[in-house]
Chains A and B, each alone.
Chain A
Amino acid sequence: MLANFTSVALTIVGALTWGLLLGGISRSVTARIHGRMGPRVTQNFIDLWKLFRKTSSIHHGGMFWMAPMFRITGAICVLLMVPLVIGQNITYNMSFAGDVFLLIYIMFFGCLGMALGAGNSGHPYAVIAVSRGLAQMSSYELSFSIAVVAIAVGLHTFKIEGIVAAQQAGITSWNIFRFPFASAGALLAFLPMQMAYPFGIVLAPQEIPIGPPTEYSSRMLSFMLSGRALFGVAKLILFVSLLFGGASSWLSLFVKTFLLYMYPIVVSSVFPRFRTEQSIRFLWFIPTTLALVDLVRVML
């Protein structure tokens, strides 16, 4: 019991640290691509602490306060439901509790809470961003869900543990090779999930300055940034488990999540942004069709 509790606590703290560190690394990498030095890799920790210690005097109703909590709760649930390192049972945390569908639902739940809170702030930019975000989310969720269903049906299991266990016979047994089309669909859906360009229509700095968190400040913003870091790591671990054979050791967990994290950063640095309808049209057609190809293949 105590060991489980410790493992859960360490997972959350570790994921938060790793998420913030990855954020710092990504800022440095983006700066180097621009030919700049960029901030320190620890910049996100400094920002977080500063925000945490600022005063808060803004109130926009109950949902406004609850939104970051929804986000953090969603992120922690996803994080704890995915086994971290294969073979080390203690790192499986609560992965006995649900299957991939529950995970997809919880991922949606965190974003929805955020949308309600940002909507409650009443700022026009936040509201525009929320409507864009929800429209885009329903588009990429479709292709992501079809990809997950294709994999689950192909492997005859909806359990994350089962999906990871089925990929342990060498690199060729990874789902990215066994279900190439579904994986391509899921990886394309991963870009808008991470709000990467060309799908960065939610935060769109030149149009709706920063979108949903416009009215958030101080402590609330620090919670929101922590939630984002946690959610980012949770999604990375989920994708590593679904497509890249899970992690057989801590080193492989860090390397795989790091490489996967770099993928949207690099794509983001070289692409301009879609307009909302272009983004949605792309997500409805290309990744969804790709994911459907594999679903039909496994059904036949």
Chain B
Amino acid sequence: MYCNQPPEKPGNKKELLEKITNMARANSLWVTAYGTGCGAIELRPLHTSRFDMERFGIAMRPTPRQADVLIISGYLATKTLKRVIRVYEQMQDPKYIVALGSCTINGGMYFDSYNTLNVLDKYLPVDVYVMGCMPRPEAIIDGFSLLMQKIKDGRAQGWKHYKENLDYYRENQKKIITDWDLPDYNW
């Protein structure tokens, strides 16, 4: 027996460790229990025996300190943005954002409303969008599997992007939040 291909070089140790960790991150997504728009109602069935998201290792956490994923579940009102920023910045790295519904993508049916945001990406780094108005639980599960794949491949880097471009995000956020009273970064 012989092999006509040269043996593959093993990656360096750090890379391997990161790969294993990414596998763990992808299979243990803890979600902040926080709903912003009407899409939150479609998250509830995910806990039930019919959809059972715990089988993917996805669990709800009642505190942002322990969560990995923040779900923006539909339209984001201008007043809610401040709270969402606070929740997101209190989460520990690495952290991901999943945005549900057309409202988060382009404003959806509230595109000309005076009190909702149109393009969420300008204010927070979204890793995965799930479209629909409102997305069914199956679509949300599909979105989660996309997020899991991105994490495994090391492509879910929204949190890094946010830190590197904090000025850009802050500028946009401050255009919406006129009574800005948050610290520079809320740990």
Inter-chain contact A37/B21, CB cutoff 8 Å: no
* Given known A54-B93, A56-B92, contact A214–B49 (CB-CB < 8 A): no
Question: Residue of B at shortest CB range from A209?
Answer: B62
Contacts of B27 in A (CB 8 A): 43, 46
Contacts of A218 in B (CB 8 A): 92
* Given known A54-B94, A57-B187, A216-B65, contact A46–B24 (CB-CB < 8 A): yes
Inter-chain contact B49/A35, CB cutoff 8 Å: yes
Tell me the interface secondary structure of chain A in the complex: loop
Complex-state Cα separation, A35 to B47, whole angstroms: 11
Contacts of B25 in A (CB 8 A): 50, 53
Contacts of A46 in B (CB 8 A): 24, 27-28, 57
Inter-chain contact B65/A205, CB cutoff 8 Å: no
Contacts of A43 in B (CB 8 A): 27-28, 57
Complex-state Cα separation, A53 to B52, whole angstroms: 26
* Given known A210-B63, A217-B66, contact A38–B21 (CB-CB < 8 A): no
Contacts of B48 in A (CB 8 A): 36
B42 within 8 A of A: no
Inter-chain contact A215/B55, CB cutoff 8 Å: no
**Shortest Cβ distance from A45 into chain B, in angstroms?**
8
* Given known A35-B49, A39-B57, contact A210–B62 (CB-CB < 8 A): yes
Inter-chain contact B55/A54, CB cutoff 8 Å: no
Question: Residue of A at shortest CB range from B47?
Answer: A36
Inter-chain contact A49/B24, CB cutoff 8 Å: yes
Inter-chain contact B24/A217, CB cutoff 8 Å: no
Contacts of B49 in A (CB 8 A): 34-36
**Shortest Cβ distance from B50 into chain A, in angstroms?**
9
Complex-state Cα separation, A245 to B93, whole angstroms: 48
B121 within 8 A of A: no
Instruction: Report how many residues on chain B are interfacial, defined by Cβ distance under 8 Å.
Output: 23
1/0 contact string of B16-38 vs chain A (CB within 8 Å) = 00001100110110000000000
Inter-chain contact B57/A47, CB cutoff 8 Å: yes
A58 within 8 A of B: yes
Complex-state Cα separation, A56 to B187, whole angstroms: 10
Between A47, A50, A57, the greatest number of chain B beta carbons within 10 A of the residue's beta carbon is seen for A50
* Given known A36-B55, A40-B57, A46-B28, contact A55–B65 (CB-CB < 8 A): no
Inter-chain contact A50/B63, CB cutoff 8 Å: no
**Shortest Cβ distance from B33 into chain A, in angstroms?**
8
Inter-chain contact B65/A54, CB cutoff 8 Å: no
1/0 contact string of B62-77 vs chain A (CB within 8 Å) = 1101101000000000
Complex-state Cα separation, A218 to B28, whole angstroms: 13
Complex-state Cα separation, A175 to B93, whole angstroms: 51
Inter-chain contact A37/B92, CB cutoff 8 Å: no
Complex-state Cα separation, A27 to B58, whole angstroms: 13
* Given known A36-B52, A43-B57, contact A53–B63 (CB-CB < 8 A): no
Contacts of B65 in A (CB 8 A): 58, 214-217
> A residues bordering B, Cβ < 8 Å?
27, 31, 34-40, 43, 46-47, 49-50, 53-58, 205, 209-210, 213-218, 221
Closest 9 CB pairs of A and B: A209-B62, A217-B65, A35-B49, A36-B52, A36-B49, A50-B24, A55-B93, A49-B24, A37-B55
